[in-house]
């Protein structure tokens, strides 16, 4: 039982929900949005440089408050910083503070400088934002009446709005809303209402009831077209208009692949967390970072997006009052017979089905692993 632990803290009462909308700014709004991108990026890079320089000189770190005071003086010297929303600049300092917290806690690497040539650009407006569903627009400080496709209504208090421009040139607004809804209390863990799931490459998902979901291999089906467009992009002259157009074509293919992958994962997780009878789901604690070091399977593992699948499944289970628990990665599963408990000493990865020498039962490797997760829970 020491190998079992909750996937996340389900007791946390989180009433925040995020809604992503496509926005259609006009020419003037695009120019002002670009200024917000540039100024937010400039403040982030400046603050990162100041913190690094101050630490090398004194051995101490600059606090967020000290950076805010220095930024006020900086805005006086550089008038172009006053053309954008000051709260967006303060949000950049908050993001840098979070980046350093994640670094010191071992979750990420040391923060890097942001590039204006990066495909994704973003800025955040943490205050004085409104969403008008009647007029179908979003109002931000200094950016009023941005047309948006508000396809999903919501109720609650708008906390922040993050405006993003993706590599293909499309604009999106992510609206964070506090709707006051508290996650339901998780159901009691009962063996008869527990299923185990195992993920794979040929079959994306296998559960303990014998159901299998085929891996769509979305990236693999687009590699030929992507390779042709990337070859054209590599032959374009750097700095030319044709190269910029071709870059957007390549970005659109990547965007289509990502959107199809997100759609597939949301459909699969909805079936498990919403439509499934089970109230507890047992999954393996996968070492995905270690697995992608295998150069022969690296692309296939990353294409499967197991990490995204488990993350989405986790919050959907919390929203629906279900439990998701993870089983230790070193606990025997596929080599262990779920009927009699016999454990095979070794088994090649190519063996997908095997017969137990003790109870003579015929076991499917993946379904057997899912069964073992259920028994461990």
Active-site annotation, residues: 198, 284, 366
Residue 286 is encoded by which pair of tokens? 């996968």
Q: Which residues are bridge partners to 280 per DSSP?
A: 194, 323
Residues composing the chain:
377
**Token output for 156:** 């609650």
Handedness of CA 279, 284, 285, 290 (dihedral sign): negative
The alpha helices in 125-276, defined as continuous H runs, are 218-235, 241-270
CA atoms within 13 A on the CB side of 250: 16
Retrieve residue 297's tokens.
Answer: 């399977």
Q: Residue 137 in contact with residue 26, Cβ under 8 Å? A: no
The Cβ-side half-sphere exposure at 357, using a 13 Å CA radius, reads 4
CA-based R_g, the chain, Å: 25
As a dihedral over the C-alpha atoms of residue 48, residue 158, residue 21, residue 8, rounded to 10 degrees, the angle is: 70
């Amino acid at each position: 039982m020491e190998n079992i632990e909750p996937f996340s803290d389900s007791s946390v009462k989180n009433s925040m929900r995020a809604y992503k909308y496509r926005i259609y700014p006009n020419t003037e709004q695009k120019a002002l949005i670009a200024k917000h991108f540039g100024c937010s990026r400039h403040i982030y890079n400046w603050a990162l440089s100041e913190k690094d320089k101050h630490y090398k000189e004194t051995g101490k770190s600059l606090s967020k408050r000290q950076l805010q005071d220095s930024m006020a003086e900086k805005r006086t010297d550089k008038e172009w910083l006053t053309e954008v929303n000051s709260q967006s600049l303060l949000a950049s300092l908050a993001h840098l503070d979070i980046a350093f917290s994640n670094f010191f806690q071992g979750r990420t690497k040391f923060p890097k400088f942001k590039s204006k040539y990066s495909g994704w650009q973003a800025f955040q407006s943490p205050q004085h934002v409104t969403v008008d569903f009647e007029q179908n627009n979003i109002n931000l400080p200094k950016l009023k009446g941005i047309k948006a496709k508000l396809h999903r209504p919501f109720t609650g208090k708008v906390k922040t709005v993050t405006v993003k421009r993706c590599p293909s040139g499309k604009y999106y607004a992510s609206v964070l809303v506090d709707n006051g809804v508290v996650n339901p209390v998780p159901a009691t863990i009962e063996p008869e209402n527990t299923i185990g799931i195992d993920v794979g490459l040929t079959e994306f998902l296998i559960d303990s009831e014998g159901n299998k979901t085929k891996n769509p291999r979305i990236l693999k089906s687009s590699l030929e077209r992507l390779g042709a467009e990337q070859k054209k992009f590599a032959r374009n002259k750097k700095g030319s208009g044709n190269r910029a157009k071709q870059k957007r074509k390549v970005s659109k293919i990547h965007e289509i692949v990502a959107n199809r992958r997100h759609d597939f994962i949301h459909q699969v997780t909805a079936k498990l967390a919403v439509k499934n009878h089970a109230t507890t789901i047992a999954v393996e604690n996968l070492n995905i970072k270690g697995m992608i070091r295998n150069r022969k399977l690296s692309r296939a593992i990353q294409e499967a997006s197991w990490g995204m699948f488990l993350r989405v499944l986790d919050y959907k289970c919390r929203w629906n009052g279900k439990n998701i628990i993870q089983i230790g990665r070193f606990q025997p599963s596929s080599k262990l017979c779920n009927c009699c408990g016999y454990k095979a000493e070794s088994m090649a990865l190519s063996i997908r089905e095997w017969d137990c020498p003790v109870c003579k039962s015929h076991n499917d490797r993946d379904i057997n692993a899912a069964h073992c997760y259920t028994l461990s829970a």
